[in-house]
A and B are shown apart, each in its own frame.
Chain A
Amino acid sequence: GENVEQHPSTLSVQEGDSAVIKCTYSDSASNYFPWYKQELGKRPQLIIDIRSNVGEKKDQRIAVTLNKTAKHFSLHITETQPEDSAVYFCAASIRSGGSYIPTFGRGTSLIVHP
């Protein structure tokens, strides 16, 4: 199976609603979990990340939660705005030799309707 599974693949919300994207990972040694936002035709940009020794992290309207026992982490966006529309990717960093290698989820297309 996939090392990182991401759901849903598409999420449509009304402006002002909350959006939640979930990812699960398989390697219990994973220790770093970033989230990237990619607008159409642009490069991925890091928006928030969390380490394995932290359960939750917030930055204004976005937050990430991590459940190490269940091996899943989630991105929460509150008070969504049309400019939040983009594809969001999660990633889990796994150890390979002496380096930590990221494995990405397949992405969630978030559409915020005005």
Chain B
Amino acid sequence: NAGVTQTPKFQVLKTGQSMTLQCAQDMNHEYMSWYRQDPGMGLRLIHYSVGAGITDQGEVPNGYNVSRSTTEDFPLRLLSAAPSQTSVYFCASSYRGQGLSEGAFFGQGTRLTVV
């Protein structure tokens, strides 16, 4: 099993550009989520999904879109990149237990810089 695979690992965008961060898991987990990590701020939930076809907003959803057409994939779209979106992004998946964080596996992260 590859676990949770995120691509790309690094990305530089210009303000106003759009892009998609890819996330795939091969553990048949129902729950998937996206976080951003900023210095001194911990991990903040952007969007999450409890199953294919179902998505919901987390703590900091503005400027991001998600979709969940399959159990395996959960891409995160930046609609119009802004410097405030410079961050490290983590995708995570977990089985249907006590919610998003139970037994969560994280991807390796994407370091995004918006200039």
Residues of A within 8 A of B (CB): 6, 9, 31-32, 34, 42-46, 49, 51, 89, 91, 93, 97-107
Contacts and interface: CB of A to CB of B under 8 A. Distances in A.
Nearest to A2: B42
A31 B100 CA distance: 12
Chain B interface size, under 10 / 10 to 19 / 20 to 34 / 35 or more: 20 to 34
> Per DSSP, are chain B's interface residues mostly helix, strand or loop, or mixed?
loop
B44 A99 contact: no
Contact of B98 (A32, A46, A103, A104): A32
B41 interface: yes
Contact of B106 (A32, A43, A98): A43
B99 A101 contact: yes
Interface in B23-69: 31, 40-45, 48, 50, 56, 58-59
B109 interface: yes
Interface in B63-115: 90, 98-109
B109 A105 contact: no
B40 A44 contact: no
Contacts of B107: 43
A44 B45 CA distance: 14
6 contacts: A9-B40, A34-B102, A49-B102, A93-B102, A97-B56, A99-B50
B96 to A, nearest CB: 10
A102 B101 contact: yes
A34 B104 contact: yes
A93 B106 contact: no
Contact of A93 (B48, B59, B99, B108): B99
Contacts of B103: 46, 49
Contacts of B58: 101
A100 B48 CA distance: 11
Contact of A105 (B42, B48, B104): B42
Contacts of A42: 108
B41 A34 contact: no
A1 B59 CA distance: 14
Given A31-B98, A34-B102, A44-B90, 14 more contacts: A9-B40, A32-B101, A34-B101, A43-B90, A43-B107, A44-B43, A45-B106, A49-B102, A49-B103, A93-B100, A99-B50, A100-B99, A100-B102, A106-B41
